[in-house]
């Protein structure tokens, strides 16, 4: 059985560097300067990564390893200390709202606007202020089952509803690239599961290139075409693991031995990483005497 997504995937194996949605991270390092050298933070170290058009990549790694930093650099919100990022062959040196949309962990809906007004603002920012904005917004809301809340204010919605709307807004702006930074992190387990399923359904159809940051092993295996595991800070790429399962994925996938095997591999990779970090911290303490 070949799904549309699998076919798209086969085609994209041969994608050119300048195809829209192709992301190339080239030897990116990031050091945040502190008040003096001892306070500077080396967040990323020589990260190189190629993401194909239409690919769904999860970034997984211990807290503080530079996942959000890498996502910001890919989206042009931050500039790396060394190296570069290109999208569709064009170097990223500033935010590119027409090409790249962000969905953050916390709801970024403005509280004094209704849901629909928030969408209008996002579309305007994106340069899509045409007459069709309302239909476009309502369509995206209906895709996540939230069209009846278009005229509600954010405070009238639960956390799960707000994240659904954040997701819809990220999809609605029509960019080739979608960057999601732990969009379900503040939600309870059940809501996460349902949203993850919905996301798998949605993304099977969009053909977007997606980078999704998570610290949940199960979420990564359920959603990703490929999981990139990062080391503890300074973040480097430790491993890249394919999840050869077509989208949309049903919850039954989580019960399969393939799912379990990949999750166990990821756990082993991360556990080693955390052990190494603890050992390094002990060494540093002993060296201080
Ligand atoms: P993750 O998302 O993997 O948890 P981050 O990318 O947020 O990690 O952060 C990586 C490291 O860089 C952390 O030690 C964090 O404190 C530091 N950091 C992130 N942003 C800044 C900043 N703007 N200024 C200084 N340090 C920062
Ligand atoms: Mg983060």
Number of domains in the chain: 1
Pocket of ligand 1 (CB under 6 A): 32, 41, 43, 61, 63-69, 233
Domain assignment present for residue 161? The answer is: no
Query: Which phi and psi (to 5°) does residue 232 adopt?
Result: -60, 165
> Is residue 199 one of the residues assigned to a domain?
no
Give helix 159-172 / helix 115-125 axis angle, nearest 10°.
30
Please report whether residue 280 resides in a domain.
Answer: yes
* Chunked mean pLDDT (size 10), the chain, 289 residues: 49 66 95 86 95 94 91 96 96 91 86 93 76 85 90 92 89 89 84 81 80 91 95 94 91 94 94 76 76
Say how many Å lie between the CA of residue 134 and the centre of ligand 2. Answer: 32
> What does the pLDDT read at residue 20?
80
Number of other CB atoms surrounding residue 183 within 10 Å = 26
Residue 225's nearest CA partner among 237, 252, 238, 207 is: 207
- Asked if 233 contacts 42 with a C-beta cutoff of 8 angstroms, the reply is yes
Q: How far apart are CA 191 and CA 38, in angstroms?
A: 42
Distance CA 99, CA 168 (A): 16
How long, in residues, is the chain? 289
Which protein residue has the closest C-alpha to ligand 1 atom 20? 69
d(CA 158, CA 86): 37
Residue 186: inside a domain: no
For 227, the enclosing helix (H) or strand (E) is strand 226-230
Closest CA to 67 of 243, 233, 183, 218: 233
The pLDDT assigned to 148 comes to 96
Per the DSSP assignment, residues forming a β-bridge with 85 are 25
Distance 83 CA to ligand 1 centre (A): 18
Alpha carbons within 13 angstroms on the beta-carbon side of residue 8 total 19
What CATH number is associated with residue 23? 3.40.50.300
Classify residue 135: in a domain, yes or no. no
270 domain residue, yes or no: yes
* Containing structural domain, residue 94: 4-99+207-288
Lay out the sheet containing 23-32: strands in order across: 41-51, 23-32, 82-87, 90-91
Residue 249: name the closest of 208, 187, 202, 188 by CA: 202
Cα–Cα distance, 20 to 39 (Å, whole number): 39
**Is residue 111 domain-resident?**
no
Q: How far, in Å, from the CA of 264 to the mean position of ligand 2?
A: 23
**C-alpha closest to that of 55 among 12, 96, 17:** 12
Ligand nearest to the CA of 70: 1
Distance from Cα 232 to the centre of ligand 2, integer Å: 13
Is 178 inside any structural domain? no
Query: Which residue owns the Cα nearest ligand 1 atom 23?
Result: 32
What is the number of the ligand 1 atom nearest to the C-alpha of 44? 10
């Amino acid at each position: 059985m070949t799904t549309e997504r699998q076919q798209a995937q086969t085609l994209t194996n041969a994608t050119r560097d300048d195809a829209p949605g192709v992301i190339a991270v080239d030897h990116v390092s990031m050091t945040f300067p502190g008040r003096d050298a001892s306070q500077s933070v080396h967040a990323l170290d020589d990260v190189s990564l190629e993401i194909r058009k239409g690919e769904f990549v999860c970034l997984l790694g211990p807290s503080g390893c530079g996942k959000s930093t890498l996502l910001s650099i890919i989206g042009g919100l931050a500039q790396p200390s060394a190296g570069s990022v290109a999208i569709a062959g064009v170097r990223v040196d500033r935010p590119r709202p027409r090409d790249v949309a962000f969905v953050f962990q916390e709801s970024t809906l403005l509280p004094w606007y209704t849901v629909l007004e928030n969408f209008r603002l996002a579309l305007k920012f994106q340069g899509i202020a045409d007459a069709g904005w309302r239909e476009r917004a309502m369509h995206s809301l209906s895709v996540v089952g939230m069209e009846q809340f278009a005229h509600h204010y954010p405070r009238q919605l639960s956390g799960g509803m707000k994240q659904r709307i954040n997701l819809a807004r990220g999809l609605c702006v029509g960019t080739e690239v979608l960057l999601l930074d732990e969009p379900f992190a503040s939600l309870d387990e059940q809501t996460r599961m349902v949203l993850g399923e919905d996301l798998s359904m949605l993304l099977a159809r969009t053909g977007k290139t997606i980078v999704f940051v998570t610290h949940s092993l199960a979420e990564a295996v359920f959603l990703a075409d490929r999981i990139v595991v990062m080391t503890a800070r300074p973040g480097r790429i430790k491993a890249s693991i394919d999840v050869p399962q077509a989208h949309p994925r049903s919850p039954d996938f989580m019960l399969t031995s393939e799912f379990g095997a990949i999750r166990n591999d990821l756990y082993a990779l991360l556990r080693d990483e955390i052990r190494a970090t603890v050992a390094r911290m002990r060494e540093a303490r002993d060296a201080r005497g």
